[in-house]
Amino acid sequence: MTGKTTALTNRISILAVSPSEEDHRSLRHILQHSNWVLNTTGTIAETLRFLESNVVPVIVCARDLPDGSWEDLLEAVAAGPLPPQVVVTSDCADSSLWSSVLNRGGYDVLLKPLAQDEVFGLLSLAWRTWHGPSRARVYVPAAEAMATAR
């Protein structure tokens, strides 16, 4: 292993990207009694530095960031080796934003103020999508697989 932390342990790491400490506080409060570990950044630049040494399955991102938008963040993280699912938060989640997020490859939109049930449900589904069967598979050499199939 390369020293990067992984999200495939008991504690699942997510990243909240927002310039608003209130957004971070809200998520921290919602997730405080769960197995989710909340990491926070305020900008795209901070997020990319964080992702250099950490793997996170889900990013919860504010619609607007000081150094760009959710679209800029989504494009930047999509190029990584294990791109996270990106959930966008907004005060006004209209159908245009939702459609744009889905069409650009984002996972979904959460309306603020955040509701605990919605957050847990959406983060769980996003994590399952990120984790998926392809990441759960264990590599077995073809010769060994054929031997056990007989």
Q: What is the structure's pLDDT at 16?
A: 98
Domain hosting residue 24, numbered range: 12-149
In angstroms, rounded to a whole number, what is the distance separating the alpha carbons of residues 112 and 23? Answer: 9
- Residue partners of 3: CB distance under 8 A and separation at least 6: 53
Residue 2 within any structural domain of the chain: no
Residue 107 within any structural domain of the chain: yes
Residue 86 burial (CB < 10 Å; 0-12/13-18/19+)?
buried
Tokens (6 digits) for 139:
């590599």
In angstroms, rounded to a whole number, what is the distance separating the alpha carbons of residues 9 and 11? Answer: 5
CATH number where 144 lies? 3.40.50.2300
Q: What is the structure's pLDDT at 101?
A: 96
Average pLDDT, the chain: 86
Tokens (6 digits) for 30:
């919602």
pLDDT digits (tens, 9 = 90+) for 7-39: 444 689 999 999 999 999 999 999 999 999 999
Could you tell me the pLDDT band of residue 135, with boundaries at 50, 70 and 90? Answer: low
Q: Which helix (H) or strand (E) holds 76?
A: helix 70-78
Residue 36 within any structural domain of the chain: yes
Q: How many domains does the chain have?
A: 1
Residue 28 within any structural domain of the chain: yes
pLDDT digits (tens, 9 = 90+) for 85-104: 999 999 986 899 999 999 99
Burial 87-96 (b: 16+ CB within 10 A, else e): bbbbeebeee
Residue 144 within any structural domain of the chain: yes
Q: Which helix (H) or strand (E) holds 15?
A: strand 12-17
